[in-house]
Each structure stands twice: as structure tokens, then as C-alpha cells.
Amino acid sequence: MKGAFLLEVSKRIKHNRKKKQFTVQELASRAKVSKGLISQIENGRTIPSLSVLFNIIQALNMDVGDFFNDIQILEPTIIVQRKEDYENFVKEDIKGYSYKRILTKNLPASTVDLVLLNISPGTYRKKVKTDAYEYKYILKGEVNYMINGNYYKLKEGDSVFFDGRLPHVPENTGKSLCSMLVVYFFSMT
């Protein structure tokens, strides 16, 4: 199973637990597992065994088919995340530390290249293709990103992940500098 699929399963457990108004302890008791295990599963920090997963689904009073309905096994080529959609999670119980999951994506062995890209207002270039998966996080400003013929308006705090082999180009149509963190994932194969 892929990382994004497992993350979706974790989100569904948490969503359905809250929908049923169960506490973490109540769900753990019903599924005959520890409270800590439920917390780790919901936060994507551990993968439940198949039997534990089925116990949790039964404890949520759900049909297995309904639980897995509409989960995408094949991940989309382009993933746009709005800053309000980033998931908070607890990694350590330490005051002052706040974690937000921005992207989880399994890729074959790859080289990672981190880049800071600044685009001046009104700057335009031809569409390009790269031999890498690309992740762009908008630090400041906004950009209109064309990927494979579709446009995505991204603002500060938004991000996009896509296959760089698709034709793409960022266009700064705003009036101020756009700064973005760029992560390239180059395949080692």
C-alpha cells in the first residue's frame, strides 16, 4: 500500500470516530487495542495490521465496503493543497512545537534537490518539462501555475505536487515578488 493511501485510511478513521462522537479511548476499547495505537494510526505514524484495521472498522459500526468506498489507490498526477487543508498532527507532546503535514508521497529511490525560487511580477517563460517530480510551496506572493494545460492559482501557504514531465510554467501575474520553496525528486532508476 502507498503512503497517500495509508494516510487516507488514517484520516477516515479519525473522521468517522469524531462523526460517531467517540473519544480515542472509546474507540480503542471497542476495537480492543490501546489508546496510544489509535492515536498513532490516526496521526499516520504507524500502519495497522489488517486484523487491527478490521477491528477498528467494526468498532466504528461500519461496513468494510463503505469504509473503503471511493479511496483512490492510484494517486493523481497533480496534487494542490490549500494552506487551510494542511493537517495538524502531534509528533511530540512538547509545548511550542506545532506540526502540519504538507505532503506525503511514496516515490521510488530518488535524489532530492531543494531550491528557493523568486519570480518577479510580470515575468514569463516558455513551458518546460523536467525529469523529476516537483513540489512547490508558496512562501510569499502568488502565482498562476499552468500544468498540463490547466491553471492553478496558488497563494502564500498553498502548495502543488506534480510530475515534472508534464508541460508547466509558473506565471507571476501579481504586483509583488513571488517566493517559493521548490523540491525536485529525481528518480535514481
**Where residue 64 sits, what CATH number does that domain have?**
1.10.260.40
Q: Which residues contact 85 (CB under 8 A, 6 or more apart)?
A: none
- Let me know whether 107 and 51 are in one domain: no
Taking residues 81-90, report their average pLDDT: 72
Q: CA-based angle 169:146:2, to the nearest 5?
A: 100
In this structure, the answer to whether residues 82 and 102 fall within a common structural domain is yes
What is the reported pLDDT for 46?
79
Sign of CA pseudo-dihedral 87, 8, 22, 56 = negative
Confidence of residue 159 (pLDDT cuts 50, 70, 90): very high
- Is residue 101 located within the same domain as residue 169? yes
Q: Do 82 and 55 share a structural domain?
A: no
Q: Do 45 and 104 have their domain in common?
A: no
**CATH number assigned to the domain comprising residue 98:** 2.60.120.10
- Whether residue 51 is found in the same domain as residue 91: no
| pLDDT score recorded for residue 115 | 78
On whether both 40 and 96 belong to a single domain, the answer is: no
Given this model, what pLDDT does residue 7 score?
72
Tell me: the pLDDT tens digits for 109-141? 567 777 788 888 887 778 888 888 889 999 999
The mean-pLDDT minimum among 15-24, 27-36, 72-81, 142-151 falls in: 72-81
What value does the mean pLDDT take over residues 103-112?
62
Containing structural domain, residue 48: 3-68
143 and 169 together in one domain: yes
Q: Are residues 48 and 119 in the same domain?
A: no
Q: Number of folded domains in the chain?
A: 2
Q: Are residues 7 and 92 in the same domain?
A: no
Please list the alpha-helical segments (H only) found in 20-110: 24-31, 35-42, 50-59, 64-68
Residues 57 and 83 in one domain: no
Q: What does the alpha-carbon distance between residue 91 and residue 126 come to, in Å, rounded to a whole number?
A: 42
Average pLDDT over residues 59-77: 76
Q: In DSSP terms, which residues pair with 89 in a beta bridge?
A: 99
Q: Scan for cell 477516515, then name that residue.
A: 12
Q: 0.85 cut: is pTM over it?
A: no
Which of the pair, 53 or 94, is modelled with greater confidence?
53
Burial of 56 (0-12, 13-18, 19+ CB in 10 A): buried
Mean pLDDT of 83-101: 66
The mean predicted confidence, pLDDT, of the chain is: 81
Read off the pLDDT band of 158 (50, 70, 90). very high
